[in-house]
Amino acid sequence: MADRDQEIFAAEFALGTLNAAERAEAEALRATDRDFAERTAQWEKLLSPLGETSPPGQVPPSLWARIEAQIEHRRSETGGLREQVSEQVDAMRRSLAAWRTAALGAAAAAAAIALMWFGGLEPPMSQQQSPPRYVAMLQGDEGKTGFVVSMALNDMQFVIRPVSAETLKAKSYELWAIMKDGKPPMTLGLVGTGAYAMMDAPPEIDPQELEKGVQLAISLEPAGGAPKGQSMGPIVFAGELIRLMP
Amino acid sequence: MAEIDLKNLLEVAARGDRKAFRQLYEATSAQLFGVAVRILKRSDLAEDAVQDTYLRIWNGGAGYKPGYGSPLGWMVTITRNRSIDLLRKRSESQLNPDTGDEIEDFTLPDPFRSAAHSADLRAFLDCLKLLDGDSQKCVLLAYYYGYTHEEIAAGVSAPVGTVKSKIRRGLIRLRECLSDG
């Protein structure tokens, strides 16, 4: 369509003379073509003073109540959901805190083990520009390491290696990331007790957030994972994702 | 109500302030309802269009920016768009005609006699005056009633092509005049 026609089409859309099919076409164009959207906005603005001259109408008194009811309805929907999620986060954090108290003595040892574990994988000094690597020792309440999780910042992929986690029959282990920003725990997926597993970090995880500290936790869920992506089961292993080299 | 107040009410309401939202409604709903009912010719449909307008504002999805012109003009634009959408949907389902409650006795508003007098409106009317009578009438029929080219052509007993070109020329003339001002 020639430039001139686009301009007229935008003007006719703004004025409102397009029939249903043409209007649908213009709407589609407006949603996908920034230039066309800009043109329609300019025409709408040009015509908008005329809106002041439209004689007022007799508003039915019931209209405000209808609008208010809609607002209430939406608020209770989103508010309820927010409450539910935040309760769940609280429960998970409480569970993590309890675990942390029990495993306090193991923390320093865990970091040392992590260094030993991955020491062999560290690049030589000449390659120190390589992307940062992170590791977490996920331990249970007796200080036993259930899993070791590592990740390199360049590929944002978690490598999960089972250490002493028992193989489960009717349940599944599910790995969660809990960021410091207070958002709900994010599921990273189910982890088995086979050789090792690799999983991509969800796009919601901002690499910058990793520096602020991320708790990883493994919960015990019904076979197949937490229903609706919300953890129901107890946390059995947890640990902080720490940067391997300063 | 002064423009500065509406601007402020819009901003505060979009952030979730119920009192400001109510004030905004009190200040603008009669105007928006007038726009919607003239296009839709039915009170229940006009209510839908106006309700959608306020919910969009409340949800912040339609954030007002000063570049959009006057706050009221911008709100009218949202209501007009919604009303015309509903009108087109309705005329598509003509097989199932509506009964009874259609409001028919609307006369074409005369913008030059309007009590409104913002600077934007004065500039607009000064330019509208420059259009020939037919172009002016076609543009106003489209604006106030949301008529299609075909409906206007039937209304003024002229060929569709003539109406189209009168409207096009009118719009281009308006834009030239307003960008000169």
A-to-B residue pairs, Cβ atoms closer than 8 angstroms: 149
Tell me which range, A89-98, A117-126, A201-210, is most confidently predicted by mean pLDDT. A201-210
Q: Name the pTM for this structure.
A: 0.60
How far does the CA of residue A81 sit from the closest CA of chain B (Å)? Answer: 17
Cβ atoms within 10 Å of B4's Cβ, excluding its own: 9
Reading the block at residue B14, the tokens are 């979009």
Which one of B39, B140, B143, B149 would you mutate to disrupt binding with A, by most A Cβ within 10 Å of its Cβ? B143
Examine the pLDDT at A83 and tell me if it is beyond 90: no
pLDDT of residue B4: 52
Q: Is A120 a domain residue?
A: yes
List pLDDT tens digits, range B41-77: 999 999 999 999 998 888 765 567 777 778 888 899 9
Nearest to B146 by CA among B25, B45, B27: B45
Q: How high does pLDDT run on average in chain A? A: 76
Q: Please name the member of B59, B85, B109 whose beta carbon is closest to the beta carbon of A55.
A: B109
Examine the pLDDT at B95 and tell me if it is beyond 60: no
How far does the CA of residue B95 sit from the closest CA of chain A (Å)? Answer: 16
Q: Could you give all domains of chain B from N- to C-terminal order, each with its CATH number?
A: 1-100 (1.10.1740.10), 107-181 (1.10.10.10)
DSSP state of B140: H
Q: Is A217 a domain residue?
A: yes
A56/B contact by beta carbon, under 8 A? yes
Regarding whether A114 and A13 lie in a shared domain, the answer is: no
3-state secondary structure chain A: CCHHHHHHHHHHHHHCCCCHHHHHHHHHHHHHCHHHHHHHHHHHHHHHHHHHHCCCCCCCCHHHHHHHHHHHHHHHHHHHHHHHHHHHHHHHHHHHHHHHHHCHHHHHHHHHHHHHHHHCCCCCHHHCCCCCEEEEEEECCCCCEEEEEEEECCCCEEEEEECCCCCCCCEEEEEEEEECCCCCCEEEEEECCCCCEEEECCCCCCHHHHHHCEEEEEEEEECCCCHHHCCCCCEEEEEEEEECCC
Of A10-19, A101-110, A114-123, B32-41, the one with minimum mean pLDDT is A114-123
Examine the pLDDT at A105 and tell me if it is beyond 70: no
The pLDDT-based confidence of A82 (bands split at 50, 70, 90) is: very low
Q: Please name the member of B25, B89, B116 whose beta carbon is closest to the beta carbon of A52.
A: B116
Q: Is A219 a domain residue?
A: yes
Backbone angles phi, psi at B91, to 5 degrees: -75, -20
Regarding whether A152 and A91 lie in a shared domain, the answer is: yes
Examine the pLDDT at A226 and tell me if it is beyond 60: yes
CA distances from B94 to A174, A228, B44, B83 (A): 56, 44, 17, 17
Regarding whether A35 and A153 lie in a shared domain, the answer is: no
Regarding whether A224 and A105 lie in a shared domain, the answer is: yes
Q: Is A57 a domain residue?
A: no
A215, A216, A217, A218 alpha-carbon torsion, rounded to 10°: 180
Regarding whether A131 and A43 lie in a shared domain, the answer is: no
Q: Is A60 a domain residue?
A: no
Q: Is A122 a domain residue?
A: yes
Regarding whether A228 and A123 lie in a shared domain, the answer is: yes
Among chain B residues, the shortest Cα distance to A5 is held by B168
How far does the CA of residue B41 sit from the closest CA of chain A (Å)? Answer: 11
Q: How far apart are CA B164 and CA B134, in angstroms?
A: 11
Among chain A residues, the shortest Cα distance to B147 is held by A17
Of A151-155, A226-230, B18-22, B101-105, the one with minimum mean pLDDT is B101-105
Regarding whether A218 and A97 lie in a shared domain, the answer is: yes
Q: Is A163 a domain residue?
A: yes
pLDDT of residue A244: 74
B116/A contact by beta carbon, under 8 A? yes
List pLDDT tens digits, range B119-157: 889 999 999 999 999 999 999 999 999 999 999 999 889
Among chain A residues, the shortest Cα distance to B128 is held by A50
List pLDDT tens digits, range A137-176: 888 877 778 888 888 777 778 888 888 888 887 788 888 8
CB A174 within 8 A of CB A225: yes
List pLDDT tens digits, range A21-49: 888 888 888 877 888 989 999 999 999 99
Domains identified in chain A, total number: 2
Q: How far apart are CA A222 and CA B36, in angstroms?
A: 54
Which one of A42, A52, A73, A75 would you mutate to disrupt binding with B, by most B Cβ within 10 Å of its Cβ? A52
Examine the pLDDT at A122 and tell me if it is beyond 60: no
B33/A contact by beta carbon, under 8 A? yes
pLDDT of residue B133: 92
CATH of the domain at A94: 2.60.40
Residues 120-149 in B contacting A (C-alpha not used; CB under 8 Å): 120-121, 123-125, 139, 142-144, 146-149
3-state secondary structure B73-86: HHHHHHHHHHHHHH
Residues of chain A neighbouring B55 (CB-CB closer than 8 A): 67, 70-71
Half-sphere exposure of A58 toward its Cβ, with a 13 Å CA cutoff? Answer: 4
Residues of chain B neighbouring A64 (CB-CB closer than 8 A): 22, 25, 29
Q: Do A50 and B148 touch (CB under 8 A)?
A: no
DSSP state of B17: -
Among chain B residues, the shortest Cα distance to A24 is held by B85
Q: Is A61 a domain residue?
A: no
pLDDT of residue A103: 54
Regarding whether A87 and A45 lie in a shared domain, the answer is: no
Enclosing domain of residue A35 = 3-52
Regarding whether A42 and A92 lie in a shared domain, the answer is: no
CB A51 within 8 A of CB B109: no
Residues 72-91 in B contacting A (C-alpha not used; CB under 8 Å): 72-77, 80-81, 84-85, 88-89, 91
Residues of chain B neighbouring A8 (CB-CB closer than 8 A): 168, 171
Q: How far apart are CA A192 and CA B180, in angstroms?
A: 72
In sign, the C-alpha dihedral spanning A230, A232, A233, A235 is positive
Q: What is the DSSP string of B103-133?
A: ---PPPP-GGG-S---HHHHHHHHHHTTS-H
Regarding whether A36 and A131 lie in a shared domain, the answer is: no
Regarding whether A146 and A28 lie in a shared domain, the answer is: no
Tell me which range, A69-78, B83-92, B93-102, is most confidently predicted by mean pLDDT. B83-92
For the residues A97-101, what does the mean pLDDT come to?
59
Regarding whether A237 and A186 lie in a shared domain, the answer is: yes
pLDDT of residue B43: 92
Which one of A59, A70, A73, A74 would you mutate to disrupt binding with B, by most B Cβ within 10 Å of its Cβ? A59
